[in-house]
Chain A
Amino acid sequence: MPTLFNPPIASAFEPAIQIENLSVRYRVPMERIPSLKEYTIRRLKRNLAFQDFWALHEVTFQVAHGEFFGIIGPNGAGKSTLLKVIARVLHPTTGRVRVRGRVCPLLELGAGFDPELTGRENILLNGTILGFTRRDLESRQNRIIEFAGLRDFIDAPLRTYSSGMIARLGFAIVTDQNPDILIIDEILSVGDAEFQEKSTKRMSEFLNSGSTIILVSHRLEDIQRFCQRVIWLQRGRLEAEGDPDSVIQKYKDRVSGKHPS
């Protein structure tokens, strides 16, 4: 397995992702307080009731550069919240997160796509939302269109596209450049068989060129097949960490009730 043959950035000896004592709290008001007036009245009466929900609780781990890293756990364990924190969407309530490298979030394909604009215009829109510059995108747009296989449709408005075409375009934009860190929520099944093959090939190219990959999946066989290291999240806490075989075994034992929690 190629790990550090091609360090993507100079500080390759520091972990790509460093998470220390990370906690994330969602504040759910006991009753909905939708209005400013209500809020003011309750605030004055000191009558603001919240129910705190800790989606993540004191989670600490690291991911090395070039590592294929897996996250498993049941629904509601905090996996998606964790990915959102790494992708900067959510700010940690407490604890610290450090990410070294350009993050490519394969969580939301085609964020900000506008159905009224053409495919070409949407490449610019989605690309700049991802933080690329216009010049950079214009120089790469032919490659993106080619990969998405949309050359004949690219100047038609997006609303005329099928959902598969839209997903292909989104995937092509976000993966066009080698990311330092790739975040995947479930292995994507985008497009037809041919496109799936293309996208799987692209992902393994990323890994070969030294990208760090984080994969969240319920399909344990995928995790076992690809990942070098795995963590198991359970109700927002880190339950186990280590090589895929042992962590998955522990997880399966718990699920089948051998060691009830």
Chain B
Amino acid sequence: MGRVNYYDSAAVGTPMVSEMKEIFQYRDLLSLLIANSLKTRYKRSVLGVFWTLLNPILTMTVLSIAFSTLFRFAIKDYPIYLLTGLIFWNFFANATMGGMKSTIVGGGLVKRIYLPRSIFSMSAIGSELMNMALSLIPLTLLILVFGHPITPAVLFLPIAVLITCLFTLGISLLISTIGIFFNDWVHIYQVLVMAWFYLTPIFYPEEIIPPHLSYILHWNPLRYPLGLFRDPIFLGRVPNSETILISLVVALISFLVGWWLFARKAKEFAYLV
């Protein structure tokens, strides 16, 4: 059967729940959107999927050379530390930015036909997730080259990724809602995301932040899911329970706030975009 068979504009119920139900109904469209975005991304480049594998390695090499000679961080196996951080960051930054842009572009479609609007943010998460999975290949190679120990702690990664997805989806829906209402928000977010990159210990160790500035670290919600992702790979241990708990709380807050705001405002989108 196709679309819902009973529509009541005054239906009582939480928009949050009904939006979720509809995403489930349109799940085939979701997977199609993800597949298509991956296809169009790699079809045109000569090296195809190979680029995704090469890209993080190249970025990592450049940054490694730059930072290890410039700052001389006292980190053993610094390239692995850096690459895990970059993989995490790329996922977050590309998924939120991509989700917002395709929500705005997809607005043209939403003006013509009914669709659950959050599908664009969801599909951005999905396709970035695939990219993240691909970039684990060069990471594994790097780990082998450096002879870095791999422990069973990596089995924790799926949970770390799940929590990260929850957090990212919340932010993506939040910034998409703002982006629909204000044209200049895309540019503002671009700057914010850059600042956020430097404020998060992606390429530097947490220790270099002087104690009187440590609040920057503590109040940065991204730092916790980052630890969740990095610790099992780089330190070879399951993150401590405090990091897990804070990550979970931060992710849930982000998801609930983002989803609630988006679902509440979604019915106005067709008037605006």
Residues of chain A having any CB pair with chain B under 8 Å: 9, 26-27, 34-37, 39, 84-85, 87-92, 95-103, 105, 107-108, 111-112, 114, 116-117, 124-125, 128-134, 136, 177, 180
Partner of B36 from the list A99, A103, A114, A134 (CB cut-off 8 Å) is A114
Contact yes or no, B32 A125, CB < 8 A: yes
Q: Give me 12 A-to-B residue pairs in the complex whose CB atoms sit less than 8 angstroms apart, sorted by A's number.
A: A26-B271, A34-B182, A34-B183, A85-B9, A96-B9, A103-B7, A128-B28, A128-B29, A129-B29, A132-B28, A134-B32, A136-B2
Contact check, B112 vs A98: say whether CB atoms are below 8 A apart. no
Across the interface, do B268 and A111 meet the contact criterion of CB distance under 8 Å? no
Assembly CA distance A114 to B105 (angstroms): 14
- Interface pair A91/B3, CB less than 8 Å apart: no
Contact status B2-A102, CB under 8 Å: yes
Q: Do residues B7 and A97 form an inter-chain contact, with CB atoms below 8 A? A: yes
Using Cβ atoms and an 8 Å threshold, which residues of chain A touch B110? 89
A89 and B8 CA atoms in complex are apart in Å by: 13
Residue of A whose beta carbon sits closest to that of B43: A116
Contacts A96-B8, A125-B36: A36 and B1 contacting too (C-beta < 8 A)? no
Q: Which residues of chain A are near B9, meaning CB under 8 Å?
A: 85, 91-92, 95-98
Chain B proximity of A185: nearest CB distance (Å)? 12
- Min CB distance, B119 to chain A, in Å? 10
Q: Which residues of A contact B1 (CB under 8 A)?
A: 102, 136
Which single member of B3, B182, B271 contacts A102 (CB below 8 Å)?
A: B3
Are B109 and A129 in contact, CB atoms less than 8 angstroms apart? yes
Q: Which of B7, B28, B188 contacts A99 (CB 8 A)?
A: B7
Closest Cβ–Cβ distance, residue A13 to chain B (whole Å):
15
A132 to B40, alpha carbons, bound, how many Å?
23
- Give the total of B residues in contact with A, Cβ under 8 Å: 35
Measured in the bound complex, the distance between the Cα atoms of B188 and A134 in whole Å is: 39
Q: A92-B9, A98-B8, A116-B40 are known contacts; what are 6 more A-B pairs with Cβ within 8 Å?
A: A87-B114, A88-B7, A97-B7, A103-B3, A131-B26, A134-B28
Q: Which residues of B contact A91 (CB under 8 A)?
A: 9, 267-268, 270
A90 engages B112 (CB within 8 Å):
no
- Is the C-beta of B184 less than 8 angstroms from some C-beta in chain A? yes
- CA separation between A128 and B36, bound complex, in Å? 13
Establish whether residues B182 and A36, one from each chain, have CB atoms under 8 Å apart when the complex forms: yes
Is B185 at the interface (CB under 8 A from chain A)?
A: yes
Tell me whether A180 and B3 are in contact in the complex, defined as CB-CB below 8 angstroms, given that A35-B182, A131-B25 are known contacts.
no
Binding site of B, secondary structure by majority: helix, strand, loop or mixed? Answer: mixed
**Are B2 and A130 in contact, CB atoms less than 8 angstroms apart?**
yes
CB of A39 within 8 A of CB of B182, answer yes
Contacts of B112 in A (CB 8 A): 89, 107-108, 111
Beta-carbon contact of A117 and B36 below 8 Å: yes
| Residues A131 and B7 in contact, CB atoms below 8 Å apart | no
Contact A98 B36 (CB under 8 A): no
| B6 interface residue (CB < 8 Å to A) | yes
B1 to chain A, nearest CB (A): 7
Bound CA span A118–B9, Å: 36
Which among B2, B7, B270 has the highest number of chain A CB atoms within 10 Å?
A: B2
A180: chain B residues within 8 A (beta carbon)? 5
Q: Complex: how many Å from CA A100 to CA B8?
A: 9
Decide if B3 touches A131 in the complex (CB within 8 Å): yes
Type the 1/0 row for B152-173, where 1 means its CB is closer than 8 Å to any CB of A: 0000000000000000000000
Quick check: B114 and A96 within 8 Å, CB to CB? no
Q: How far is the CB of B179 from chain A (nearest CB, A)?
A: 10
**Contact of A90 with B29 at beta-carbon distance under 8 Å, contacts A35-B184, A36-B184 already known:** no
- CA distance in complex: A130, B185 (Å): 31
CA distance A184 to B106 in the complex (A): 24
Residues of A within 8 A of B267 (CB): 91
Instruction: Report the nearest A residue to B267, measured CB to CB.
Output: A91
User: Considering the chains assembled together, what is the distance between the CA atoms of A180 and B183 in angstroms?
Assistant: 39
Minimal beta-carbon separation of A16 from chain B (angstroms): 11
B115 lies within 8 A of chain A by Cβ: yes
Query: In the bound complex, how far is the Cα of B3 from the Cα of A102, in angstroms?
Result: 6
